[in-house]
Amino acid sequence: METKKLLMIPGPTPVSRSIQDQMGRETVAFSDANFVNDFNYCLKELKKIVKSDGEIFVISGSGTLAMEMSLANVLRKGDNLLIISHGYFGDRFVDIAKNKGINVDVLSSEWGKTVPIDLIRETLKKKPYRAITVTHVDTSTGVKADIKSIGDMLKEFPEIIYIVDGVCATAGEEEYMDDMNIHILFTASQKAFGVAPGLLILWANEKALRARESIGTIGEYFVDFNNWLPIMHEPSKYFATPSVNLIWALKESIRLINEEGIENRFKRHELFARAYQKALEELGFRILAEEGYRANTLSNVLYPEGVEDELFRTSLATEGVQVAAGLGTFKGKMFRIGHMGNIDKHDLISSIASIERTLYKFNIDKLSIGLNIIQRELVK
């Protein structure tokens, strides 16, 4: 019998059976009273999860569309935007913004490192920036930005809209909009929420809405806050047919989050991340992200000598774990393993065990060394 292949990529993450069952239900009308209730529940609870009393948008689409939405609603052509990039998804903001004719400045770190806050502050002083984007966790590097400290620092710049890309973070890493002075936050369904891909979630607070007002008509129709606000206030209204089944799935995901407690969820992600990362290091791998800036949601893992990337990932899949390839210059030198969403101790244990057995095929006998780390972390 083939070993079940665990979906340990940085999204989509494993979808729990109870969430799957919601996706497989008979579809109803978007105006169905029960569905409207379910949608409202999602909207209300999603605000609580990030401690926001602003607006929320749940829309068919992907994280990339959310990135575009975050820019399109607050920046005009010619506005200045500072992008903090810790990898591929930071850079993607550059593309999106440039295509829109926004003036872009980028502060990029070396992959694995972060941009120092002081440098951000200095840069912001040089020009009147309208907004800044920070990718909370960049999937390409596994680097986690210190969004709280950046938020604190940004209090010195009350004109600037602080946009946080939470795609690989929200519901797995601590993110509290008001506490952290974030004005726009967004994520996608298939990451730490553990739903299939197809939904974007975006929160915008009052300052962001005022920015939207100030820029007048925008060309981006589908992601225009103004088109969606009436619907998000009253989901029985129509703007575009919502993805009924994915919203049910999201509701079940939120129920699971509430059952666990968001704080407990963050702690679990932290515990699991530490266990994974310690175990992987003990097995001879190197974590790309520098210590202190490692994500709790995924790890980007550099191979030891003598381990060939593609062969490793294929063998690992046979042993029962699917991971993702490295991106950019790290393609071939690294794999990326997700450890976010609705995964449990079994998934953690099974994935490290599979990695050990795969290493063994490369004549690296570290059997049970990683598992020992994991077990000791789990019993702490």
- CA-based torsion, 371, 284, 7, 343: positive or negative: positive
Among 45, 260, 270, 281, binds a second copy (CB under 8 A): 260
Token pair, residue 24, equals 């497989």
Among the residues of the chain, which ranges form H helices?
17-23, 33-49, 63-72, 88-99, 117-126, 147-154, 206-214, 225-233, 244-260, 262-282, 309-319, 345-361, 369-379
Window 307 to 366, contacts with a second copy (CB under 8 A)? 319-320, 322, 324, 342-346, 349-350, 353-354, 356-357, 360-361
Rounded distance, CA 366 to CA 360, Å? 7
Rounded distance, CA 210 to CA 130, Å? 12
Q: Please, what's the b/e burial string for 206-224 (b: 16 or more CB within 10 A of its CB; e: otherwise)?
A: ebbbebbeeeeebeeeebb
From residue 18, give the alpha-carbon distance in Å to each of 15, 36, 121: 8, 20, 46
Rounded distance, CA 27 to CA 337, Å? 34
Among 38, 56, 58, 68, binds a second copy (CB under 8 A): 68
**Contact by Cβ (8 Å): 337, 231:** no
- For a second copy, the closer CB: 23 or 131: 23
Q: Which range of residues in 170-178, 217-225, 281-289, 300-308 is near a second copy by CB under 8 A?
A: 217-225
Among 183, 207, 268, 294, binds a second copy (CB under 8 A): 268
Rounded distance, CA 297 to CA 269, Å? 7
Window 1 to 60, contacts with a second copy (CB under 8 A)? 1-4, 6-7, 9, 11-12, 14-15, 17, 20-21, 23-32, 60
| 258 is a contact residue toward a second copy (CB under 8 A) | no
Among 40, 64, 103, 123, binds a second copy (CB under 8 A): 64
Rounded distance, CA 152 to CA 124, Å? 14
Window 113 to 152, contacts with a second copy (CB under 8 A)? none
> Nearest distance from residue 310's CB to a second copy, in Å?
12
Window 75 to 114, contacts with a second copy (CB under 8 A)? 77, 95-96, 99-101
**End-to-end CA, the chain:** 34
Size of the site for a second copy (CB under 8 A): 91
> Nearest distance from residue 205's CB to a second copy, in Å?
23
- For a second copy, the closer CB: 293 or 335: 335
Among 126, 206, 331, 367, binds a second copy (CB under 8 A): 367
**Contact by Cβ (8 Å): 88, 139:** yes
Window 270 to 309, contacts with a second copy (CB under 8 A)? none
> Nearest distance from residue 95's CB to a second copy, in Å?
7
Q: Is 255 annotated as a binding residue?
A: no
> Nearest distance from residue 98's CB to a second copy, in Å?
8
For residue 55, what is the enclosing H or E element? strand 55-60
| 256 is a contact residue toward a second copy (CB under 8 A) | yes
Among 43, 46, 49, 65, binds a second copy (CB under 8 A): 65
> Nearest distance from residue 303's CB to a second copy, in Å?
19
- CA-based torsion, 151, 157, 158, 159: positive or negative: negative
SS3 133: strand
> Nearest distance from residue 178's CB to a second copy, in Å?
26
Site string for a second copy, 231-250 (x = CB under 8 A): --------xxxxxxxx----
> Nearest distance from residue 181's CB to a second copy, in Å?
27
> Nearest distance from residue 284's CB to a second copy, in Å?
16
Binding region: 336
Which residues does the annotation place in the binding site for substrate? 336
